[in-house]
A and B are shown apart, each in its own frame.
Chain A
Amino acid sequence: MDIKPVLLWSDLLLFLLLAACVAAAWACRRSPPQRAAWGRVARSATGMASAVTLALFLLVGVLDSLHYRTLLPAAGERERPVYGIEVYSVLDGLLLSLKENTEKTYSAPLATRLFAKESLEGGREFPRLKHGGAHLADEAGWAADVGRRALFGLGAGAALWALLAAVLAPALKRREMAWRSVLTVLLLTSLAGGTVVMLGQGYHVLGTDKVGQDVLYLTLKSVRTGLLIGTLTTLVTLPLAIFLGVLAGYAGGWVDDAIQYLYTTLNSIPGVLLIAAAILMMQVLIDTHPDAFSTAAERADARLLALCLILGMTSWTGLARLLRAETLKLRELEYVQAARAFGIAPLAVMVRHIVPNLGHIVLIALVMDFSGLVLAEAVLSYVGIGVDPSTISFGTMINAARMELAREPMVWWTLVGAFLFMFLLVLAANLLADAVREAFDPRTAP
C-alpha cells in the first residue's frame, strides 16, 4: 500500500518535545544529584507503576501521531498518483478493523444484536449486528465463544508477559529499581490487552456509540488528545515562566514591576473566560479563512494548537511567581554574588548559575500540572470551547454520551469507557507527580 506521510504541526511539536526529553535525560545522567533524585523515583513502587502506565499511554499517543494519507486506487487514466483526503495514523492502521467495522447505531459491549428494535420481516426485533458476533452461526454458542476467546486471550497475554519478563529480568535486577511493580503493571496490561485483542476480533468490546463507531477505538484515540494538551501546553508555559520569572527576580526595579503587573493582570482574568474568548476568536479566524487549511484534520489541528497556546498563556503565571521568589533567594547567595563580582554579564549569571538551580521547581510544577490539564481538556471540550468537535477526545466523548443516560434502558458503555481510560491516565499522572515531588523536593528528600 502506497502511503504519503503527513506531518501535522502538533505531531512535529510532540516529537520535538520527546526529543527534548531524551536530551534532558541524557544531561541528567551526568549530574550526580539528578541521578540520585531519579534513583529515588525508580525505587518508589507507585512511582514506577505509574511511570510504566504513562509510558503505555504515551505509546498509544505516539502511534496515533504518525500520520499518513493512503494512495487512492487508480481510476481511469490518471497520470499522477492521487492521495485520499482522509488522514490516517499508525494507530488507525493497527485498529483498522475497529475503525471501519461500524454498526448502524448503539450496541452493548460484546453484543450480537443492535440495541434498538427495528421493523424486520418477522415483526419488530433486535437485528443482528453487521460485525459484532457475525461469525457465530448460532447465537446460542455466544457464551462459549466469548469464554473461549477470553481464556485464549488471557493465555496469550500471560505468555507475552513471560517473554517480556524474561527479556527484562536481567536488566531490571542489576539496577536498583522497583521492578516488581513494573512487572505487575505489565502483567495486568498484557492480560487485559490479550483478552481485549482476542475479543475485539469478533465483537465490539466496549460496544458502539450512536453512529455505530466502536467505543474502544474512540477511547484509544482520545488518549492522544489528552496527552497533547497535557504536554504541548508546557512548550508555551516553560519558556515564558522561566524567562519572565527569573528576569523579574534577578533584575528587580521597574522590570520586576512590569512583569508582576503582567502576571497579576493575566491571573485576574478567570481562566475559563479567557480561554473561551480566545477560542471564539480562533473559531472566527478559521471560519473566515477557510482557504488556509486544506484538510479537516489540519483545521482541527490548528484549533488544538490554539487551545494549547491559550492554556499555556493562562498557566505560566503561577510557575513564574514561584521562580521569581526562588530567584530572589538565589541571587543573594555567595556563589552568585561572587560571579557578579567577577563581572560576569547578568544574562550569563542567570543562564549558568540561576536557571540550573531552579530545575526541581520547574520539574515538580510541570509534572503536577499535567493531570490538571488533561482534566481541563475534558471540561473545556464539554463546554464547547475545547478541541474541535470533530476531534475525538474525552470531552467530546462525554458530551456525546450525555443524553444516553436518559435513555431507557440506559446506554452506559461510552461513559464507562471514557471514565476508565481517563481515570487511569490521570491517576497515573497524579501518582507519578507525587513520587517526583517527593524525590526532588529538597524539603522532603533525605
Chain B
Amino acid sequence: MLAYILRRLFYAVPILLGVNLITFALFFVVNTPDDMARMQLGVKRVTPEAIAKWKAERGYDKPLLWNEAAAGGGRFTETVFFAKSVRMFAFDFGRADDGRDIAAEIRQRMGPSLAVALPVFLLGLWVTISFALMLVFFRATYLDLAGTVLCVAMMSISGLFYIIGGQWLISKIWHLAPISGYGQGLDTARFLVLPVIVSVIGGIGSGTRWYRTLFLEEAGRDYVRTARAKGLTETAVLFGHVLRNALIPILTGVVVLIPSLFMGSLLVESFFGIPGLGSYTIEAINAQDFAVVRAMVFIGAGLYILGLLLTDLSYTLVDPRVRLS
C-alpha cells in the first residue's frame, strides 16, 4: 500500500511539472514582462525607466529561461522561470504583484473557504442522495416523472440566478440572513446560512439526476431482484442493497472533490463577500495579478492529483475485490 502511494506521488511530479510549464508559457512566452509592466502601469505614456523599475521590484528583470550572465548553477536559478515557477514545488509562492505574501494569504483564507465548502459538500450530498433514493423508490410513477422534470428545469438555471434569487428572497424579502459579509467566531454562522442554502439548492438538479441514474442501474441487477424475490421490503432493498453497492460510483465522483473544497467556490465567495480562496482568485483575476493566479493554478492542480489518489485508495476500503498493485 505504502509503495503504491509513493509511486503515485512520484507520478504526480511530471504532471505538476507540465502544469507549471503550461502556466509559465501562458504567462511569459505569449507576453513579455515588458508587456505586463505596460499593462499594469497603463498602456499610454509609460517611460522605459518606469517599466524597468516595475520589473526590478517584482523580479521580472532576469532572463526567462537561461541566464548567460550568471555563473554555474546560477545560469538556471537566476531566471524568471526558476524564481516564479520552480520554487512553487517547495511551496514558496513568493509575493503577489501588489507586494503581499501569497502563502500567508492562502493560509489565512483557507478557513473561510472550508467553512462554506464543507457544509455545502456534506449537506449537498445528503440532500441529493436522499432525493434520488426517493425518486428511485417511487420509480415509474408520476412523482418520479415530476421529480425528473424538476431536476432538468433546475439544471437549466444558471448558478448566478440561484445566488441572486436567494439573496433577494431570503435576505431582502424575508430578512432571515444578512445579504453578504463574514463575521468572527460564532457570529460567522449567521453569514454562512445563505451561501450554504443557495449552493445546496443550486446543486440539487444535476446531482439528483446523476445519483438517480446510478441507483436505477444498480436496482436493475440480478441480486436486487433476488432480494425482492425473497420478500425483503422495498426500503430494505434500497438502503441495504442498492445504496451500499452504488457506493463505488458515488465515491468516484465525491472523493475527487474533497481536496477542491480548499479552493472554495469562485462565484459563491465573491457574491457573498466571504474572504476565502475563491474570492482571492477572483480579486487577483480582476486586478490582473499574475503571481496569485499562477500560484492558485499550481495549488489547484496539486489538489486535483491528490483527489485522484484518494479516490483510488478509497476503493479498497469500500470494495474488498479491489486490490491496488
Real complex partners, A and B? yes
Rounded to whole angstroms, the CA-CA distance of A158 and B46 in the bound complex is 63
Given the complex of chains A and B, what is the CA–CA distance between A383 and B159 in angstroms? 12
Which residue from chain A places its CB closest to the CB of B205 in the assembled complex?
A: A430
Contact present for B18 and A265 (CB under 8 Å): yes
Which segment, of B30-38, B99-107, B118-126, B223-231, faces chain A?
B30-38
A434 at the interface (CB under 8 A from B): yes
Nearest-CB residue, chain A, relative to B31? A284
- Residue from B156, B159, B168, B270 in contact with A423 in the complex, judged by beta carbons closer than 8 Å: B156
Contact A287-B39, Cβ < 8 Å, known A273-B281, A385-B285: yes
Please choose the segment from B127-135, B183-191, B292-300 that sits at the chain A interface, where 4 or more of its residues have CB less than 8 A away.
Answer: B292-300
Tell me which residues across on chain B come within 8 A of A272, comparing CB atoms.
Answer: 266, 281
- Determine the chain A residues whose CB is within 8 A of the CB of B267 once the complex forms: 379, 382-383
| CB proximity of B226 to chain A, nearest CB, Å | 23
* Contact in complex: B304, A268 (CB < 8 Å): yes
Please give, as numbers and ranges, the residues of chain B lying within 8 Å of A285 by CB-CB distance: 30-31, 35
Which residue of chain A has the shortest Cβ distance to B21 in the bound complex? A265
Check A405 against B293 for contact (C-beta < 8 Å): no
Q: Which residues of A contact B239 (CB under 8 A)?
A: none
Given the known interface contacts A288-B31, A423-B157, the answer about A405 and B167 at a Cβ–Cβ threshold of 8 Å is yes
**Mask: chain B, 7-40; 1 = CB below 8 Å from A; 0 = not:** 0000000110011001100110011000110110
Cα distance A284–B286 when bound, in Å? 13
Q: Whole-angstrom distance from the CB of A383 to the nearest CB of chain B?
A: 6
Encoded as 1 (CB less than 8 Å from any A CB) or 0, chain B from 267 to 283 comes to: 10010000000000110
CB-contact partner of B27 in A269, A281, A288, A375, under 8 A: A281
B158 near A277 with CB under 8 A, answer: no
CB-defined contacts of A276 to chain B, threshold 8 Å: 281, 285, 293
The smallest beta-carbon distance between A405 and chain B, in angstroms, is: 6
Known: A269-B297, A288-B39. 10 other contacts (CB 8 A): A261-B18, A268-B15, A269-B22, A270-B263, A280-B290, A375-B158, A379-B159, A402-B164, A426-B158, A430-B155
Closest Cβ–Cβ distance, residue A357 to chain B (whole Å): 24
Residue of A nearest to B153 (CB): A427
Find residues 383-426 in chain A having any chain B CB closer than 8 Å to their own CB: 383-385, 394-395, 398, 402, 405, 410, 415, 419, 422-423, 426
Is residue A90 contacting chain B, with contact meaning CB distance below 8 A? no
Chain B positions near chain A (C-beta within 8 angstroms): 14-15, 18-19, 22-23, 26-27, 30-31, 35-36, 38-39, 43, 152-153, 155-161, 164, 167-168, 172, 260, 263, 266-267, 270, 281-282, 285-286, 288, 290, 293-294, 296-297, 300-301, 304-305
Q: Tell me if A229 counts as interface (CB < 8 A to partner B).
A: no
Whether the Cβ atoms of B18 and A378 lie closer than 8 Å is no
> Closest approach, in angstroms, between the C-beta of B284 and any C-beta of chain A?
9
With A269-B19, A383-B267 known as contacts, the answer to whether A277 contacts B164 (CB < 8 A) is no
Neighbouring A residues of B14 by C-beta, 8 Å:
261
Point out which of B36, B152, B157, B285 has the most chain A C-beta atoms below 10 A from its C-beta: B285
> Chain A nearest CB: distance from B257 CB in Å?
12
Complex Cα–Cα for A402 and B281 (A): 20
Instruction: Establish whether residues B282 and A284, one from each chain, have CB atoms under 8 Å apart when the complex forms.
Output: no
Q: B179: nearest residue on chain A (CB-CB)?
A: A406
Complex interface: chain B residues within 8 A of A273 (CB): 281, 293, 296-297, 300
Q: How far is the CA of A38 from the CA of B159 in the complex (A)?
A: 32
A-B contact pairs, 27 of them (CB 8 A): A261-B14, A261-B15, A267-B304, A268-B15, A268-B300, A270-B260, A272-B266, A273-B281, A273-B296, A276-B281, A277-B293, A277-B294, A281-B30, A284-B30, A375-B158, A379-B159, A382-B267, A383-B267, A383-B270, A383-B285, A385-B285, A405-B168, A422-B158, A426-B155, A426-B157, A427-B156, A430-B155
A379 to B161, alpha carbons, bound, how many Å?
10
Residues of A in contact with B, size category: 35 or more
* A264 proximal to B (CB < 8 A): yes
B31 partner residues in chain A, CB cutoff 8 A: 281, 284-285, 288
| CA gap between A434 and B14 in the complex, in Å | 39
Contact of A375 among B159, B168, B270, B288 (CB under 8 A): B159
Q: Tell me the A residues contacting B by CB distance below 8 Å.
A: 261-262, 264-270, 272-274, 276-278, 280-281, 283-285, 287-288, 371, 375, 378-379, 382-385, 394-395, 398, 402, 405, 410, 415, 419, 422-423, 426-427, 429-431, 434
Identify whether the interface residues of B are mostly helix, strand, loop, or mixed.
helix
> Which residue of chain A has its CB nearest to the CB of B284?
A276
**Do the beta carbons of A379 and B300 come within 8 Å of each other?**
no
Q: How far is the CA of A434 from the CA of B149 in the complex (A)?
A: 12
Distance to closest chain B CB from A322 (angstroms): 15
Q: How far is the CA of A268 from the CA of B306 in the complex (A)?
A: 10
Q: Which residues of B contact A288 (CB under 8 A)?
A: 31, 35, 38-39, 43
Which of A278, A375, A430 touches B152 (beta carbons < 8 Å)? A430
Complex contact A434–B160 (CB within 8 A) = no
Chain A residues with Cβ below 8 Å from B159 are: 375, 379
User: In whole Å, how far is A50's beta carbon from the nearest beta carbon of chain B?
Assistant: 10
Beta-carbon contact of B297 and A270 below 8 Å? yes
In the complex, which residues of chain A have a beta carbon less than 8 angstroms from the beta carbon of B18?
261-262, 265
- Collect the chain B residues with CB atoms within 8 Å of residue A375's CB: 158-159
A281 to B297, CA, bound (A): 15
Most buried by A among B19, B260, B266: B266
- Chain A residues closer than 8 Å to B36, beta-carbon distance: 284
Shortest CB distance B201–A (Å): 16
CB distance from B269 to the nearest CB of A (A): 11
Report A-chain residues with C-beta under 8 Å of the C-beta of B23: 269, 277
Contact check, A379 vs B158: say whether CB atoms are below 8 A apart: yes
Residues of chain B with a CB closer than 8 A to A385's CB: 285
Question: B30 — which chain A residues lie within 8 A by C-beta?
Answer: 281, 284-285
- Counting from the closest, the 5 A-B pairs by CB-CB distance are A265-B18, A270-B300, A427-B156, A426-B156, A268-B304
Within the complex, the shortest CB–CB distance from A10 to chain B, in Å, comes to 21
Of B159, B161, B290, B293, the most chain A CB neighbours within 10 A belong to B161
Verify B26–A281 contact, CB threshold 8 A. yes
Are A280 and B293 in contact, with the CB atoms below 8 A?
yes
Docked CA distance A375–B153 (Å)? 13
Query: Once the chains bind, are B301 and A405 in contact (CB under 8 Å)?
Result: no
Are A371's CB and B156's CB within 8 A?
A: yes
Residue of A nearest to B296 (CB): A273
| Nearest A residue to B17, CB-CB | A265
